[in-house]
Homo-oligomer: A and B are copies of this chain.
Amino acid sequence: MSVIYNRVALIGLGLIASSMFWAIKRAGLANEVTGFSRSAKTRDTAREIGLCDRVCNNLTDAVIDADLIVLCVPVGAMEDVAMQIAPGLKSGATVSDVGSVKRAVIDAVAPHLPDDVHFIPAHPLAGTEQSGPTSGFAELFDNRWCLLVPLEDTDPAQVDRLADFWHGLGSNVECMEPDHHDLVLAVTSHTPHLIAYTMVGVADDLRRVTDSEVVKYSAAGFRDFTRIAASDPTMWRDVFLNNKDATLEILGRFTEELFALQRAIRKGDGKELHDYFTRTRAIRRGIIEAGQDTDAPNFGRGPKK
């Protein structure tokens, strides 16, 4: 792989940025990577573990002369960062981000950027329940999707260049329109996360079942929810506040379906339940075939046969 951007600036040094750094180094996609975090503690940690070629103490130093600037901060912090970096951006640079919602990020960031930089929003669909600068690893994006959400008037050559960069990080790349992105993610990510958070909250609230019972017997299904519900609270707060309409729409459909199944349970309608549960199996098969999960039993937690 050859260098795609001479200098890359990573703003925010959490799971995604730290994984990007290791993946950039793995593939040699940049000559220099600078990094900035608002937190002095995070900057210290980054320096200790060699995260970024140069960790800067302020935003201006981090973005100076950068060819690609990637905003890796929670969605709610994007606008502030955009305003602060705007004056220091090099003409012809590309600004991108990794936020989980796209319409709100476009509305927050685009108005603040000068006309001579390219703004190409992006969203790598990859993550773990871990967060912070020590949680990254080079392979995070391998075989995962990165969605690019370019605005209409963006130079196609610069979109291709950013796509090459994400290919180099290990991802498959596709372009998508912002509102459609937000709806798709409301289905595949945002609503599932909210539901998982809710279920874990219910378990925690229930006085008649002790916390220790919930923890001990979690392997019966519940623990998969707790993994999702252990993700970064600030990031997820911002996702829901900024993808409100799509999340509320999918939640509405979800409760409608849940009430139908609840009614089938109350009425003892075994056929309806069986039909429903049979239909959902096919989707799982599709996901295995698409290479987006392992078919090892129990996520490969158990020993191999």
Contacts and interface: CB of A to CB of B under 8 A. Distances in A.
Given A215-B287, A299-B227, A233 B281 contact: yes
A279 B279 CA distance: 34
Query: Is the interface on chain A under 10, 10 to 19, 20 to 34, or 35 or more residues?
Result: 35 or more
A244 B262 CA distance: 9
A3 interface: no
A221 interface: yes
B303 A137 contact: yes
A9 interface: no
Interface in A196-236: 196-206, 208-209, 211, 213-231, 233-234, 236
Contacts of A197: 261, 276-277, 280
Contacts of A283: 200, 203-204, 211, 214-215, 226, 229
Contacts of A231: 277
Contacts of A130: 297
B201 A257 contact: yes
Interface stretch (A32-40, A112-120, A159-167, A266-274): A266-274
A145 B214 contact: no
B187 A222 contact: yes
A91 interface: no
Given A187-B214, A198-B261, A257-B198, A237 B270 contact: yes
Contacts of A238: 270
A202 to B, nearest CB: 5
A187 B216 contact: no
Interface string A237-249: 1101100100110
Nearest 4 Cβ contacts at the A-B interface: A128-B297, A189-B220, A233-B277, A230-B284
15 contacts: A125-B220, A145-B219, A184-B209, A185-B220, A187-B203, A187-B209, A189-B221, A191-B199, A197-B276, A204-B280, A214-B283, A218-B293, A226-B280, A241-B265, A293-B301
Given A206-B253, A224-B224, 16 more contacts: A142-B303, A144-B219, A145-B217, A147-B217, A187-B214, A189-B222, A198-B257, A201-B279, A203-B283, A215-B287, A227-B293, A229-B280, A230-B281, A230-B284, A233-B273, A238-B270
